[in-house]
Amino acid sequence: MRASICLIFFLFSNFLMAQRVPQVDSVITTKHQIAANGQKFAYTAKTGTQPVWDANGKVLATVHFTYYTRDDVSDRNKRPLVISFNGGPGSGSVWMHLAYTGPRLLNIDDEGYPLQPYGVKENPYTILDVADIVYVDPINTGYSRILDEKADRALFFGVNADIKYLAEWINTFVTRNNRWSSPKYLIGESYGTTRVSGLALELQNAQWMYLNGVILVSPTDLGIKREGAVDKANRLPYFLATSWYHKRLSPELQNRDLEELLPEVEAFTLDELLPAIARGSSLPASDRAIVVKKMSRYSGLTELVIEQNNLDISTSLYWKELLRDRGMTIGRLDSRYLGIDIKDGGERPDYNAELTSWLHSFTPAINYYYLNELKYKTDVKYNMFGPVHPWDRSNDNTGFSLRQAMAANPFLHVMVQSGYYDGATDYFNAKYNLWQMDPSGKLSGRMSFFGYRSGHMMYLRKEDLIKANNDIREFIKKSIPATDQAAKY
């Protein structure tokens, strides 16, 4: 009797342990309906895990994914496939999955703030009408995990390691799901833009897989240097946008439309501020006074603060300073969000007001969604942000890798989407990426930029959710070549 109890306890313990480790290779399939973009159609959701192997075929880890396909498609070969990554680099794919391109939308208000009860609803603006989508959680994010305790973490946690294993994973996924003939797109947000920029070339060179498009949502610097005066000057257009939003500009500027003002501040940044900062103490005092006055006019900060910091206003100081007289701070990733610090003094906010708001609404929604609608049952924790550090950021050439992929593939197009109120990966630096990637302008016909009146996750604001998804939809349609069109210059 005692032996039987011990055996039962042993088996039950093993069962519980198994539930806390994701299955190596699995899939759960569910069927759904949606009304989106004026159409009603059925779709299939597959969520599960697919292994990562070493060169000898040994399983090292498993990557969780969620794959949506529209059911009424007669020829899947012509159907675009969008492969979606978020950033961090330790972040799961939850953000764009449940708030942007996917068929379900978390419960937030029209400006993106959390609502209760938590949960999800239909996304009538999803791009599923024009493309199938797979959301991928890199290792240690979402439900993805390293399974071999002896596996070298350096195989996964670094700019180039991340790109290499994910390219192999994508090859397997595309082969298993018979999507080699489909037009293929990568979309990445934040660090995900670093990831997909590198993947574009890695897929071509190591997997012989050629893409139709890469979509960069709130891109990082992509390994493109902007040190010294460039780094300091490039912040000003973001400062103006945020000051305009919070009504901190002079009436003459405040009464003009934001998108009318931005070209003016961009020209000042490049033509006057950048050379003034580069001149340093050699800049004549009279010229310096003019630049300080204009910088104050465009930033919403006082001339005194700008002088005290030698024209070098860090973003952290700006988040603390702009609304200091109101006792409020502004968000890093989205400056529409406000925070309250323990004291009004200091040079940086106590916390990221926007991120706490987002975690407030996303975390319960993704856990609810997988269990209740996609029927994915596991005791593995969904990592909103997983342990992926130390992350090797050396040899980041991803921006120029993307440029090389475009040069070698005449079918490859790139689209950038940026929020004007994003202070972490600001819109003007996103434009700067494109200028440096394509200094000759020979690729400009296949590069496009779209700005939105929101922050890092511009899609949280309903008006921008609609516009940004329409922009993706049009980008996909535009970048599919005509039948029998040759890929040549």
Q: Give the tens place of pLDDT for each residue, 94-120.
A: 999 999 999 999 999 999 888 888 889
Residue 3 has pLDDT above 90, yes or no: no
The 3-state secondary structure of 138-205, one letter per residue: CCCCECCEECCCCCCHHHCCEHHHHHHHHHHHHHHHHHHCCCCCCCEEEEEECHHHHHHHHHHHHHHH
Residue type, 437: M
Q: Give the tens place of pLDDT for each residue, 324-362.
A: 999 999 999 999 999 999 999 999 999 998 888 888 889
Which residue did the predictor score with more confidence, 199 or 11?
Answer: 199
- pLDDT at site 22: 85
Nearest 5°: the CA angle 436, 438, 440 is 110
> Which pLDDT band holds residue 377 (cuts at 50, 70, 90)?
very high
> Which pLDDT band holds residue 16 (cuts at 50, 70, 90)?
very low
Q: Pull the structure tokens for residue 398.
A: 């991803």
Residue 7 has pLDDT above 70, yes or no: no
DSSP-derived pairing of the beta strands 145-146 and 59-70: antiparallel
Alpha-carbon distance of 134 to 336, in angstroms, equals: 30
List every span in the chain annotated with CATH 3.40.50.1820.
26-224+360-479
> Which pLDDT band holds residue 309 (cuts at 50, 70, 90)?
very high
Using the Cα atoms of residue 458, residue 460, residue 466 and residue 469 in order, give the sign of their dihedral.
Answer: positive
Mean pLDDT of 169-184: 98
Which ranges of 283-426 does DSSP label H, i.e. alpha helix? 285-299, 303-308, 315-321, 353-372, 398-408
Residue 2 has pLDDT above 70, yes or no: no
Task: Give me the CATH topology for the region 26-224+360-479.
Answer: Rossmann fold (3.40.50)
Nearest 5°: the CA angle 299, 453, 226 is 55
Residue 17 has pLDDT above 70, yes or no: no
Q: Give the tens place of pLDDT for each residue, 419-433.
A: 999 999 999 999 999
Q: Pull the structure tokens for residue 3.
A: 């032996």
Mean pLDDT of 162-185: 98
Mean pLDDT of 370-399: 96
Residue 303 has pLDDT above 90, yes or no: yes
- pLDDT at site 14: 41
CB-CB contact of 218 with 417 (8 Å):
yes
